[in-house]
Structure 1
Amino acid sequence: MSQTDMNIFESLESEVRSYCRNFPTVFTKAKGHKLWDENGKEYIDFFSGAGALNYGHNDPKMKDKLIEYIQDDGITHSLDKATSAKGEFIKKFNDVILKPRNLEYKMMFPGPTGTNAVESALKLARKVTGRTDIISFTKGFHGMTIGSLSVTGNASKRKGAGVPLSHSVTMPYDNFMNDEQNTLDYLERYLEDSGSGVDIPAAMIVETVQGEGGINVARFEWLKQLDDICKRHDILLIVDDIQAGVGRTGTFFSFEKAGIKPDIVCLSKSLSGYGLPFAIALFRPELDVWNPGEHNGTFRGNNHAFVTASAALDYWKDDQLEKDVRNKSEITHEFLNNLVEKYPELKGTVRGRGLMVGVACEEPEYASKVISEAFERGLIMETSGMDDEVFKLFPAINIDEEALKAGLNIIEESVKSVVKEPVTN
């Protein structure tokens, strides 16, 4: 097989590309928790498609179902027409995921990406309530289209909109100021004081664990209080579970252990189970006030994704996967806590829940250096946070324990290499 000329990407692809700069090789094959490049080098994947591959690459059961469907000339593109693949997914998702959790939601299929799900949630909240504003939270990330950017905290991403982003108000996330101050008391004061300049919003949108924002975790008590505030002020609560959902934090939905039932839930990324574009917005039945076609998209009927998503739901027919994630989460957190203690030069803080974890470094350059060293040693992971100060671990949630520990060992070797050399600004 001939080698791909890297100059093709440099000369013909836009400068907007990003991940390829951290992983400068040409990948050719992927299976489970592994990737291979053109040179045959093997990598352990702790990136998982930025959370779109929670079950790893090319899961065999999903692959078999998809190949069978394609070979039988199953419907590929259908807009929102009824298909057997969609019907199977709707029924199975309701039976396997919603009913056992005592959740009653209507399912909406917008365009197939996370930002599409968020856009539809914001539009629905405004339509239902007749209000305009949305409250979002510091360091939140909800997508790259205009509505989603308006509720995203990252300044550089907001700047990319090229227009003023309006009709949103940013409030402090849990522990944004310090450990002592309850940020929701601050928020509610704004809602109750007629002189605050903050109107009652249509909705609040929140990530229970902020992925791009730096693996910031909201306490369950904080989420419960947020839910209570929304109920008392007749505000819809939107949980963006696009990255933290589908088992990443240990349960299918990241909010389950908080004991809340959001009005609207956004899912995408790992929902298809196979890396195929797929998104849904879930909402309470009484909120379903859409007129036919009022929100739509050409590719909202991705039947290949329906097929693999239905197959992926087999992982959730019992609680074995949750138990496995809990066990591997304990291994990972124990390793990271020991790592920051063993290498104080990192000035690291362990963050996260489940297998959505990372280490925040006081000197942001350390995180970037660690992922570069890890890549050279055969491990792929990324940074997150406003200054890329967190090196972020997103292994497949069904990774075997031996492979998990092998990846963790590469991280330690990378940290050991980095701390030998002082960081220079």
Structure 2
Amino acid sequence: MTLTQPDLRAFTTLESEARSYCRSWPTVFDRAQGSRMYDEDGHEYLDFFAGAGALNYGHNNAVLKRALLDYLERDGVTHGLDMSTMAKRAFLELFQNTILGPRQLPYKVMFPGPTGTNAVESALKLARKVTGRETVVSFTNGFHGMSLGSLAVTGNAFKRAGAGVPLVHTTTMPFDNYLNGTTPDFLWFERLLEDHGSGMDQPAAVIVETVQGEGGINVARSQWLRALAELCRRQDMLLIVDDIQMGCGRTGAFFSFEESGITPDIVTVSKSISGYGLPMSLCLFRPELDVWEPGEHNGTFRGNNPAFVTAAAALGTYWADDELERQTAVHALTIEAVLRDIVARHSGSAYRGRGMAWGLELDDHRHAGRAARRAFEHGLLVETAGARGEVVKLLPPLTITTDDLDDGLHIVQRAVDETA
């Protein structure tokens, strides 16, 4: 692809140095549809980033867009804090009837704010309120958001350093296979809990991702998750599953923990819950944990009614049957086959993933960055993940066509080979 030099002066002179994704993709995007984005010069890009997992159903999904436009054209409520609205009621009833009820999940639904980190903060706050304890256990390479409470349970040193204050009341434990199987699961964790001389306070909760997205697509085994849930039960700790990036069908089932058969006490959901990239998040929890006083946790933008509209449309369109889940399983086989072929040709590399979340770890961590940049030059958007950016991370829209998926995977293959 031949690229002209874009005019980035407005961004480089007026916008904060905190911007990040735009540095990897130096162009000015103008429009997007399905699994493709287009810049202001008309260049086309396949999108294997999908809004960092916020666009599971693709850009400007036609069904969701129609529902949103109809709602706006009739002057439907756009801002409602936590007021009762028809849009909220429609979402709550559909979420119960389509998602929670069929899975026998007994959760109450809380709208804590527009973003994933709002959901995590509310989960941590609730766990501490319910138990009367302060400590929360998290895992190596976990990522839970950029506000202070969420950063405290995040592993990445670079992101933690941005807090500017001590990040306290947390303890970190090894994620699944962190020690390469040399130590039995949870041996260290349980020993600390049972030893009154360990210096570890009794935790309020444990927070975990079933697949660590920002951490490098590290996949927890189902048996590891079941053992963690049992440990939490024995030791009277609440189990929080952060399903912000891996929920809403990203790993196949609607919730990423379904495959393991566990039922977390608290679940955080965001990113693709609105279906359209509109800000929305949920904190789900067992009814007996609903000890909030009215207004004890609130926020101005927790009632994003246009997001309720598109979320309901997504549920009604994609989760009334198992077609999307079956399609994701087929696409997963395609992705895995290509990654297996790449790994066979590049010594020291590895791949891992579930559903439509995959990571290609390259032996030289700089290789992943080079491959991502070359992919952009060939018309594909992919990001890197992992503590050193050593993993090429693939998050195509769940609704991607077979042809687009094949084209994008071919570019990944080409980019890795050309930058080795």
Q: Deviations over 1:54-110 (max 9, x none)?
A: 111000010000000000000000000000000000000000000111101000001
Q: Deviations over 1:1-39 (max 9, x none)?
A: xx9731111111111100000000000010000000011
- Mapped to 1, the partners of 2:184 and 2:279 lie a distance apart of 38
- For the 8 Å contact 2:6–2:27, the answer to whether it is kept is no
Say whether residues 1:122 and 2:124 are aligned partners: yes
Q: Which amino acid aligns with 1:11?
A: T
- For the 8 Å contact 1:76–1:303, the answer to whether it is kept is yes
Task: Kindly report which structure 2 residues correspond to 1:5-404, keeping only aligned pairs within 5 A, or say none.
Answer: 5-314=7-316, 315-344=318-347, 347-404=348-405
SS in 2 for 1:246: coil
- For the 8 Å contact 1:184–1:222, the answer to whether it is kept is no
Q: Which amino acid aligns with 2:341?
A: N
Q: Deviations over 1:336-378 (max 9, x none)?
A: 011110233xx21101111110111121000000000000000
- Mapped to 1, the partners of 2:89 and 2:187 lie a distance apart of 44
- Mapped to 2, the partners of 1:327 and 1:394 lie a distance apart of 15
> Which of structure 1's runs of 4+ aligned residues deviate more than 6 A?
none
* Two-structure CA RMSD over aligned residues (Å): 0.9
SS in 1 for 2:240: strand
- For the 8 Å contact 1:209–1:218, the answer to whether it is kept is yes
Q: Which amino acid aligns with 1:213?
A: G
- Mapped to 2, the partners of 1:372 and 1:311 lie a distance apart of 35
Say whether residues 1:414 and 2:419 are aligned partners: no
- Mapped to 1, the partners of 2:326 and 2:350 lie a distance apart of 26
- For the 8 Å contact 1:174–1:182, the answer to whether it is kept is no
- For the 8 Å contact 1:113–1:268, the answer to whether it is kept is yes
Q: Which runs of 5+ in 1 are unaligned?
A: 420-425
Q: Which runs of 5+ in 2 are unaligned?
A: none
Q: Deviations over 1:376-422 (max 9, x none)?
A: 00000100000000000000011111110010001111112112xxx
- For the 8 Å contact 1:173–1:183, the answer to whether it is kept is no
Q: Deviations over 1:120-150 (max 9, x none)?
A: 0000000000111100001100000011011
- Mapped to 1, the partners of 2:401 and 2:24 lie a distance apart of 26
Percentage of pairs with the same residue: 58
- For the 8 Å contact 1:371–1:383, the answer to whether it is kept is yes
- Mapped to 1, the partners of 2:306 and 2:74 lie a distance apart of 12
Aligned residues: 415
- Mapped to 1, the partners of 2:191 and 2:165 lie a distance apart of 30
Provide the TM-score with structure 1 as the length reference: 0.97
- Mapped to 2, the partners of 1:362 and 1:204 lie a distance apart of 32
| Bigger mean CA offset, 66-75 vs 6-15 | 6-15
- Mapped to 1, the partners of 2:408 and 2:6 lie a distance apart of 28
Per the TM alignment, residue 182 of structure 1 is displaced from its structure 2 partner at its CA by 2.5
- Mapped to 1, the partners of 2:336 and 2:181 lie a distance apart of 21
Provide the TM-score with structure 2 as the length reference: 0.98
- Mapped to 2, the partners of 1:178 and 1:197 lie a distance apart of 26
